[in-house]
């Protein structure tokens, strides 16, 4: 099949060891098999496994890949994936951002960028269409993400350049350091910021001028005009523009699945002080949207009075408000904003940071660690000052912050007594949904290829809707469907929120893909490719040491019942989970130990670039 649009068929490969930049042509077959975004990243990780010798080794690869739909006239076509072997988990990792970084990278004429090796000095990569340079910038050492972005824009004398950068945390190899682009869009999870830090890459600046290749632009225009009209006509459209993801606070709290006091509970008694209405009443000063997104879920907030006065931030969204709110017992919205702003500027993931701070507070409360263990700090729920201090300490690796900066796996090694109270899977700290209220959510977290993150599967709402009389088979199928369709969005380079939140039909994306590439794939065909690639991430993870023991939700899900809310008293049943997992393996075609057919996978993905 011939690809007639959607791709430049070019991969930009930067070898920092040799200071060499080359453009690798991508074949039509390659584009169609791996689709783009995360798909290309997975393949490159697989091919690089022979060279791989640890996340911070110079042979580790970082792939930055938008998709064939990124930057086009269709709803929320802004997504770019960052892929690497994660320093947080030691296995396959990825994280995606919106904004316009990926659009610019595509306009520069590339489908993906791969970075290998290590620069001698702290540098940034400057991609100006065909001209690619590695620019030494040691004077930016220790600078925050926002400042770095400002300095580079100033140096390049162009405000329209798109920049992705790492902060102090990335430089200090904090294992959950993120990458910040376009003033506040974060590829937060799995610590790829630290991998860039290990490569001495402070930032990537891109400017592109090319037309994006589209096979049938009038057809795309027609499809998209209808799509935009549909979204704008949705009854929750304006509500979304107002609150964005902050509306999830009320949903999650009422459903009793909002992590509170280190995931001990699923309901926060002061939720109304950290919800979307509180934000609208006192803090929100503007909307912000990613490229081509009508939903504008980004909130710009300003703290107008009090000790955090002057804090301005793109955010928070639900995860951050929960992890720095209920999960650590904070009911002051301005403190959440301050913590969010700090995390963005220092370049650390708000989810992992809020999760680990919660662990520490509970550990001290339970007497699992003493004040001496944490440098004389007295930790209390809702103690704003120490929480803010810990954010600093993690990014700068001071005191106990140095231990937390290595993530939960290292924390368990250093303080094994904390193991039962840490909510993590495969070393990735759990994001802000409880796993006890809905067993499918627990299965989703436990079998996600990057660890406990909701990006791969969010079956929670569906399960709660369906109630009790719901067979194991249907539950497993729902999780697998989520794990197949959701990554497809990251492969196409579009945001999944129009689908999740405004009920946008996923079949439309197959129509978009066909109009753009001239290759008539149905949604099922695309899903099949996504599923193949899920097996490939599993194969990567198996080679990196993952086995059945890593496919379990956090211990807390089995041992500590929720104490309030509609699911009070609920814990997961171990036997039920075991049968669910066994069925999951079976349905995926993996053996009883969760191992896919490695020989078949090797054959299937043995094509060379």
Partner 1 sequence: MGVSRKLTVIPERCSGCKLCEVVCSINRFGANNPKKSCIRVMVIYPHPVIRMPIICKQCKEPKCRENCPTDAIVIKEGYCEIDEAKCVSCQQCVMSCPFGAIFLHSDLNTPFKCNLCEGDPQCVKSCPKNALLFIPEHTLGQAHRMASVLKYTKMKEVEYVEKGERKILRYADIEGGKEE
Q: Is residue 517 part of the contact set for partner 1 (CB under 8 A)? A: no
Smallest distance, Å, CB 288 to partner 1? 6
The string of DSSP letters for 429-446 reads EP-SS-SSS-HHHHHHHH
Q: Which of 33, 294, 462, 604 binds partner 1 (CB under 8 A)?
A: 294
71 forms part of the interface with partner 1 (CB under 8 A): yes
Closest CA to 97 of 34, 203, 178: 178
Give strand ranges (E) for 154-221. Answer: 162-165, 179-181, 185-187, 201-207
- What does the radius of gyration of the chain's CA atoms come to, in whole angstroms? 22
Q: Which parts of 186-245 interact with partner 1 (CB under 8 A)? A: 208-212, 214, 217, 220-221, 228, 232, 241
DSSP 424: E
**Within 10 A of 429 (CB to CB), how many other CB atoms are there?**
28
Give one word for 498, left, alpha or beta, with left for phi > 0 and alpha for psi -120 to 50. alpha
Whose Cβ is closer to partner 1: residue 135's or residue 300's? Answer: 300
593 exposure class (CB count in 10 Å sphere: 0-12, 13-18, 19+): exposed
Q: Which residue in 2, 157, 159, 416 binds partner 1 (CB under 8 A)?
A: 159
Nearer to partner 1, 164 or 313 (CB): 313
Interaction of residue 315 with partner 1, rule CB under 8 A? no
Kindly identify the residues of this chain, within the stretch 28-67, that bind partner 1 according to CB under 8 A: none
What's the chain's length in residues?
609
Residue 117 tokens, joined: 């090796």
Stretch in the footprint of partner 1 (CB under 8 A) among 288-296, 465-473, 478-486, 530-538: 288-296
Residue 341 CA to residue 302 CA, distance in Å, equals: 10
Q: ∠ CA(352), CA(355), CA(360), 5° rounding?
A: 120
Instruction: Give the interface segment with partner 1, choosing from 297-305, 320-328, 414-422, 573-581 (CB under 8 A).
Output: 297-305
Span near partner 1 by CB under 8 A; candidates 281-289, 442-450, 482-490, 568-576: 281-289
- The residues in 135-154 that bind partner 1, with binding defined as CB under 8 A, are 146
Q: What is the dihedral sign for C-alpha 307, 310, 313, 315?
A: positive
Q: With respect to partner 1, which residue has the nearer C-beta, 140 or 476?
A: 140
Provide, rounded to whole angstroms, the least separation between the CB of residue 237 and partner 1: 8
Distance CA 256, CA 268 (A): 9
Q: Report the residue number, 226 or 547, with the smaller CB distance to partner 1.
A: 226
**Measured from the CB atom, is 294 or 420 closer to partner 1?**
294
Please state, in angstroms and rounded to a whole number, the distance separating the CA atoms of residues 174 and 598. Answer: 33
Query: What x/- string results for residues 86 through 105 when contact with partner 1 is judged by CB under 8 A?
Result: --------------x--x--
Q: How far is the CB of 209 from partner 1 (least distance, A)?
A: 5
For partner 1, the closer of residues 10 and 232 by Cβ is 232
Q: In Å, what is the CA distance from 27 to each residue of 5, 7, 24, 33?
A: 13, 10, 10, 10
Q: What is the phi-psi region of residue 403: left when phi exceeds 0, alpha when psi lies from -120 to 50, beta otherwise?
A: alpha
- Figure out which of the listed residues 252, 290, 369, 536 binds partner 1, where binding follows CB under 8 A: 290
Please identify which residue in 15, 250, 287, 525 interacts with partner 1, judged by CB under 8 A. 287
Site size toward partner 1 (CB under 8 A) is: 40
Among 292, 356, 439, 557, binds partner 1 (CB under 8 A): 292
By the criterion CB under 8 A, which residues form the site for partner 1? Answer: 71-73, 100, 103, 107, 146, 159, 183-184, 208-212, 214, 217, 220-221, 228, 232, 241, 285-296, 298, 300, 302, 312-314
């Amino acid at each position: 099949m011939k690809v007639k649009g959607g791709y430049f068929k070019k991969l930009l490969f930067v070898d920092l060891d040799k200071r060499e930049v080359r453009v690798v042509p991508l074949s039509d077959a390659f584009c169609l098999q791996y689709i783009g975004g995360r798909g290309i990243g997975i393949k490159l990780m697989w091919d690089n496994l022979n060279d791989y010798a640890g996340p911070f080794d110079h042979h580790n690869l970082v792939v930055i890949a938008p998709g064939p739909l990124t930057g086009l006239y269709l709803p929320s076509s802004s997504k770019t994936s960052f892929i690497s072997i994660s320093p947080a988990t030691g296995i396959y990792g990825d994280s995606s951002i919106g904004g316009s970084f990926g659009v610019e990278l595509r306009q520069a004429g590339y489908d993906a960028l791969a970075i290998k090796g290590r620069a001698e000095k702290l540098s940034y990569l400057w991609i100006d269409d065909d001209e690619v340079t590695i620019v030494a910038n040691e004077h930016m050492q220790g600078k925050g993400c926002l400042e770095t972005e400002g300095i580079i824009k100033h140096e390049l004398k162009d405000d329209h350049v798109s920049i992705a950068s790492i902060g102090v945390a990335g430089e200090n190899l904090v294992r959950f350091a993120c990458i910040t682009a376009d003033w506040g869009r974060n590829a937060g999870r799995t610590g790829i910021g630290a991998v860039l830090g290990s490569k001495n890459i402070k930032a990537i600046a891109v400017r592109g001028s090319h037309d994006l290749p589209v096979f049938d632009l009038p057809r795309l225009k027609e499809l998209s005009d209808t799509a935009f009209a549909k979204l704008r006509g949705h009854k929750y459209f304006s509500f979304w523009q107002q609150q964005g993801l902050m509306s999830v606070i009320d949903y999650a709290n009422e459903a009793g699945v909002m992590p509170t006091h280190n995931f001990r509970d699923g309901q926060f008694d002061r939720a109304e002080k950290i919800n979307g209405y509180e934000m609208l009443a006192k803090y929100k000063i503007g909307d912000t949207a990613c490229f081509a997104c009508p939903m504008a879920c980004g909130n710009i907030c300003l703290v107008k009075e009090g000790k955090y006065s002057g804090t301005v931030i793109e955010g928070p969204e639900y995860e951050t408000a929960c992890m720095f709110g209920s999960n650590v017992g904070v009911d002051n919205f301005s403190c959440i904003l301050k913590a969010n702003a700090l995390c963005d500027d220092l370049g650390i993931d708000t989810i992992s940071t809020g999760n680990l701070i919660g662990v520490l507070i509970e550990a001290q409360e339970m007497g699992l660690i003493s004040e001496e263990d944490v440098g004389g700090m007295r930790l209390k729920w809702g103690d704003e000052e120490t929480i803010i201090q810990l954010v600093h300490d993690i990014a700068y690796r001071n005191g106990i912050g140095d231990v937390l900066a290595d993530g939960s796996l290292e924390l368990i090694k250093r303080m094994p007594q904390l193991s039962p109270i840490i909510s993590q899977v495969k070393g990735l700290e759990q994001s802000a949904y409880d796993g006890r209220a809905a067993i499918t959510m627990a299965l989703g977290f436990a079998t996600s290829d990057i660890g406990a993150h909701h990006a791969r599967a969010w079956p929670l709402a569906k399960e709660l809707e369906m109630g009790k009389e719901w067979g194991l088979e249907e539950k497993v199928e729902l999780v697998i469907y989520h794990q197949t369709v959701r990554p497809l969005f990251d492969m196409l380079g579009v945001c999944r929120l129009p689908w999740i939140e405004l009920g946008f039909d996923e079949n439309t994306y197959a129509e978009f893909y066909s109009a753009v590439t001239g290759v008539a794939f149905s949604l099922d065909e695309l899903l099949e490719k996504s599923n193949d690639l899920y097996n490939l991430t599993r194969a990567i993870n198996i080679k990196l040491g993952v086995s059945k023991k890593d496919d379990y939700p956090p211990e807390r899900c089995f041992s500590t019942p929720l104490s309030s809310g509609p699911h009070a008293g609920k814990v997961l049943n171990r036997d039920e989970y075991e049968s669910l997992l066994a069925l999951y393996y079976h349905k995926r075609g993996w053996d009883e130990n969760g191992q896919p057919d490695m020989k078949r996978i090797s054959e299937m993905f043995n094509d060379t670039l």
